[in-house]
A and B are shown apart, each in its own frame.
Chain A
């Protein structure tokens, strides 16, 4: 993991809960991880002692990685998809999942995940997940009696409980080969394990809420107020590495409502200094007004345009910016945003894509993200 990202990761946790929260979380016995969806790659920013012990990895090997690193060949893809969608829709999910330890051995666990919202921002700040290992109850008796009950009530059962004799026979025959059975079959958690997961989540959340009070940047379990862009859109946009901003043409003075990390790096500003501003704050004394005029016109005409414009960083140094602007429509087919993609003149792409092509590929990704994230009836539509 590169150092700049690590810095972000530490900041993601500390600025919200303070360093003290780590100690408090480390006292909890449970296995859990915390991730930050706003950092590119949606990495783990905290992993509990219990979790590290269970997975066999050291802290350094886990922080900064995505939770999918624990998946393997027999992890059910449909379950992974359910988690992916829960994240996209910013809701909790509970599902049994096959993961792999560092030494390659698989284990079943009950995965329960929930979003943590910023009280003021109204967007997801972190996700918390607990991983409760599913204990295998001792193997079933050989005689048929009670077999069915046991299969249905807890422990492992076939993915579908069709009561055909073939399937039952399959289960009992597998007694001798427990390992194979464990991997192949969907493993249901018991009520006790579900209870454990629920309690663990609420313990973690209460530590987080408590410590967020100390930094004054409150988090909570429920969403309050609207955010500038929906957080599922935020996640999709976070995957796009290049420099770009989204502006909302429906708000007064067309403010920036999203700025990518690369943009902030290029311009030298912090996110909160940029959000809500009109794009013109990047211009300065030597900026050519005709370029600005061209941008304004293309927004009015709802058309794409490319300009070369002199911009200024926060430290007042200037650079030539190749700027491409394009309207972006949401699922209703209406223009929801304009995207501005910036490429500093002279920067080269290691794949040999022209600056124009790089800009257009960002536009494409953003169009897909905005359109798709506004498709569900629950999402905002203008």
Chain B
């Protein structure tokens, strides 16, 4: 059986037509200044290069930057300035600052926005929700098709270890730059997409390097109200081309306020806690001896989840100091007809922002009647059950500590998997996937064999 849901896809680019139209256009010449072979030669875009660091900059660093206007705040200004420029050039489908928004009264502080324009025009499309990893399909919309005017800048590690900015840098097709582009249907001010190594056309799938890039973006922006999010396929990503999202909202997200309970500390100092008293069960990653440790722990957990076909969402918060990981099963329930029509009627797609407590509502009625209770009820449907979460959690820990030891022994052989404790009982398909993961021990497993 194949699970599918119908939903209106979000229009993130002005070049994202309904699939049929898009296909029709592809045959003809381009002439729209995109990011494909036809238009890249001679293309120039601003380039921001960041400095690789070992540790997450401590608070003292941030302060010093604050005082003498060092580059930390600079990425922030670059992004905001470029975004406002696109706004004044009229590239967005609507002015998001004209959309009413509020904090819903209550203890959690869920936020609601009334956005009647975001989903107009597009007709519902079918999405396959039972496969977290799907191969890249060049015929579908992907970010190489966006117009260059929608790209704000290239974002990459600097060669010489210094933060630098080049207002007019050539786009080097061979080095496959990572870029930051606008989302023309913004959820909030500054809504952008970070597309790692855009020209490599990676499918929506976490790898260590790309995750680290996203983490660097959070750190470089240095603003606790600028967060990055990730949706896997099956967890409401609509475009199967690797991307993270981000926007500004200077209000704490309910998920950031949720109490946590420490569960374990990995060998490399990464602390993992569990959310409680929050409608969606999830893990929080913090600390680590180095930035890479933190980044790798989260990516390994995501890699485990995607290899085992468990849809999930990730939120990078607090300037990269706290990362939330939330496995979810809403789309699956929806496809199986297990979600109440009342919830479906709100047309809220619980992706990373919704799960973090920021709801975009399409109907005035839902906005006016928005209550903590309603939000909670929706999110509770998103969460894995307690038993299932416990299983997944145990396996994630195993995956994290497993890859940790893998680092020590580069030439891991198949036999290594056998040393692991026997699988938990009754975990069904997870275990099958897990064994696969354990045996091959790399991200390459399961994909494009």
| Candidates A71, A162, A369; contact of B59 at CB < 8 Å | A71
Max count, chain B CB within 10 A of own CB: residue among A66, A159, A351: A351
B77 and A358 within 8 A (CB)? yes
Contact call A81/B78, Cβ cutoff below 8 A: no
A159 and B257 form a contact (CB under 8 A): no
Q: How far is the CB of A332 from chain B (nearest CB, A)?
A: 6
Contacts of B190 in A (CB 8 A): 364, 368
Chain A hits for B251, CB < 8 A? 372, 375-376
Q: Is A353 an interface residue (CB 8 A)?
A: yes
Decide: B103 and A376 in contact? CB cutoff 8 A. Answer: yes
Contact B59 A364 (CB under 8 A): no
A81–B58 CB distance below 8 A: no
Chain A: interface residue total (CB-CB under 8 A): 57
Cβ-defined contact, B101 with A361, below 8 A: no
Residues A375 and B165 in contact, CB atoms below 8 Å apart: no
Q: Does B15 contact A (CB under 8 A)?
A: no
B98 contact set on A, CB distance < 8 A: 329, 333
Q: What is the distance, in angstroms, from A358's C-beta to the closest C-beta of chain B?
A: 7
* Interface status of A16 (Cβ within 8 A of chain B): no
B74, A351: Cβ atoms closer than 8 Å: yes
Q: Looking at the assembled complex, report how far the CB atom of B20 sits from the nearest CB atom of chain A, in whole angstroms.
A: 34
Closest residue of chain B to A329, judged by CB? B97
B 242-265 to A, binary, CB cutoff 8 A, 1 in contact else 0: 000000111110001101111000
Beta-carbon contact of B59 and A361 below 8 Å:
no
Q: Which residues of B have CB within 8 Å of A85?
A: 252
Whether A41 and B66, one on each chain, are in contact in the complex, defined by CB atoms closer than 8 angstroms, is yes
Give A41's nearest chain B residue, CB to CB: B66
In the bound assembly, the distance between CA atoms of A357 and B77 in angstroms comes to 9
8 Å CB contacts to B: which residues of A325-365?
326, 328-329, 331-333, 351-354, 356-365
Interface assignment of A3: CB less than 8 Å from any CB of chain B = no
Asked whether A377 is an interface residue with its Cβ less than 8 Å from the other chain, the reply is yes
Contact (A360, B81) CB under 8 Å given A73-B287, A77-B286, A78-B256: yes
Q: How far is it, in angstroms, between the C-alpha of A331 and the C-alpha of B113 when the chains are bound?
A: 9
The chain A residue sitting closest to B104, CB to CB, is: A377
Partner among A326, A357, A372 whose Cβ is within 8 Å of the Cβ of B81: A357
Option from B59, B95, B166, B256 in Cβ contact (under 8 Å) with A81: B256
Check A368–B189 contact: CB distance below 8 A.
Answer: yes
Given contacts A41-B63, A360-B85, A377-B102, contact A365 B225 (CB under 8 A): no
Would B167 and A41 count as touching, CB distance under 8 A?
no
Instruction: Find the B residue at minimum CB distance from A373.
Output: B250
Q: Does B135 contact A (CB under 8 A)?
A: no
Bound-complex Cα distance A359 to B260 (A):
41
Is B69 interfacial (CB-CB < 8 Å)?
A: yes
Chain B: number of interface residues, binned into ranges: 35 or more
Q: Are B63 and A358 in contact (CB under 8 A)?
A: no
Report chain B residues within 8 Å CB of A222.
none
**A151 smallest CB distance to B (angstroms):** 16
Within 8 A of A (CB), among B332-368: none
Say if the beta carbon of B200 comes within 8 Å of chain A.
Answer: no
A352 to B249, CA, bound (A): 27
A65 at the interface (CB under 8 A from B): yes
Q: Which of A50-86 contact B (CB under 8 A)?
A: 65-66, 68-69, 71-74, 77-78, 81-82, 84-85
Q: In the complex the two chains form, what is the Cα distance from A243 to B167 in whole Å?
A: 23
Interface residues of B in 52-66 (CB under 8 A from A): 58-60, 62-63, 66
CA of A331 to CA of B188, assembled, Å = 11
Q: How far is the CA of A371 from the CA of B130 in the complex (A)?
A: 38
When the two chains form their complex, are residues A351 and B71 in contact, meaning their CB atoms are under 8 A apart? Answer: yes
Tell whether, in the assembled complex, residue B250 and residue A236 are in contact, meaning their CB atoms are under 8 Å apart.
yes
Say if the beta carbon of A123 comes within 8 Å of chain B: no
- The SS class assigned to the B binding surface is mixed
How far is A371 from B247 in the complex, measured between Cα atoms in Å? 13
Q: Complex formed: what's the CA distance from A117 to B257 in Å? A: 27
- A358: B residues at CB distance < 8 A: 77, 81
- Give the one of B101, B166, B190 with max A CB within 10 A: B101
Partner of B321, one of A65, A77, A326: A77
Q: Does B105 lie at the interface of the complex (its beta carbon under 8 Å from any beta carbon of A)? A: yes
CB distance from A173 to the nearest CB of B (A): 15
The answer to whether A361 touches B84 (Cβ under 8 A) is yes
Chain A residues within 8 Å of B103, by CB:
375-377
Q: How far is the CA of A360 from the CA of B77 in the complex (A)?
A: 9
Identify the closest chain A residue to B74 (Cβ). Answer: A351
B211 proximal to A (CB < 8 A): no
User: Contacts of B225 on A, CB cut-off 8 Å?
Assistant: 368, 372
Question: Contacts A69-B63, A372-B249, A373-B250; is A241 near B69 (CB within 8 Å)?
Answer: yes
Q: How far is the CB of A185 from chain B (nearest CB, A)?
A: 9
A365 touches B77 (CB 8 A): yes
Cα distance, A220 to B128, chains bound together (Å): 61
Per the bound structure, the CA–CA distance linking A357 and B68 in Å amounts to: 20
**Which residues of A sit under 8 angstroms from B419, Cβ to Cβ?**
none
A332 x B80 contact (CB < 8 A): no
A357 vs B80: C-alpha distance when bound (angstroms):
9
Minimum C-beta distance from A43 to chain B (A) = 9
* Chain B residues within 8 Å of A326, by CB: 84, 88
Cβ-defined contact, A81 with B318, below 8 A: yes
* Contact of B252 with A331 in the complex, beta carbons under 8 Å: no
Cβ-defined contact, A361 with B318, below 8 A: no
A328 CA to B98 CA, complexed, in Å: 9
Q: Quick check: B77 and A78 within 8 Å, CB to CB?
A: no
* Contact string against B for A residues 167-209, beta-carbon threshold 8 Å, 1 for contact and 0 otherwise: 0000000000000000010000000000000000000000000
Q: Are B189 and A84 in contact (CB under 8 A)?
A: no
The residue on A at minimum CB distance from B114 is A333
Closest to A306 in B: B88
CB-CB < 8 A to A2: which residues of B?
67-68
Assess whether A307 is interfacial by the CB under 8 Å rule: no
B195 interface hit (Cβ, 8 Å): no
Task: Collect the chain A residues with CB atoms within 8 Å of residue B167's CB.
Answer: 352-354
Report if A1 contacts B (CB, 8 A).
yes
Q: Which residues of A contact B80 (CB under 8 A)?
A: 360-361, 363-365, 368
A365: chain B residues at CB < 8 Å are 76-77, 80
Closest chain B residue to A64 by CB distance? B67
Interface check A157, CB cutoff 8 A? no
Least CB separation from A361: chain B residue: B81
Q: Are B85 and A357 in contact (CB under 8 A)?
A: yes
Which residues of chain A are near B182, meaning CB under 8 Å? Answer: none
A93 at the interface (CB under 8 A from B): no
User: Does B111 sit within 8 A of A, measured CB to CB?
Assistant: yes
B443 at the interface (CB under 8 A from A): no
Interface residues of A (CB under 8 A from B): 1-2, 5, 40-41, 65-66, 68-69, 71-74, 77-78, 81-82, 84-85, 88, 159-160, 162, 184, 236, 239, 241, 304, 326, 328-329, 331-333, 351-354, 356-365, 367-369, 371-373, 375-377
A and B contact pairs by CB, cutoff 8 A, 15 listed: A41-B67, A65-B63, A66-B63, A77-B286, A81-B318, A329-B97, A352-B166, A359-B81, A360-B80, A360-B81, A360-B88, A364-B84, A367-B189, A368-B80, A377-B102
| Given A357-B78, A360-B84, A372-B250, 9 additional A-B pairs, CB 8 A | A159-B260, A160-B261, A329-B98, A331-B101, A352-B165, A353-B77, A354-B167, A364-B83, A371-B189
The list of the 7 closest CB pairs from A to B, nearest first, reads A364-B80, A361-B81, A372-B250, A361-B77, A360-B84, A360-B81, A364-B84
A-binding residues in B (CB < 8 A): 58-60, 62-63, 66-69, 71, 74, 76-85, 88, 95, 97-103, 105, 111, 165-167, 189-190, 224-225, 248-252, 256-257, 259-262, 276, 286-287, 318, 321-322
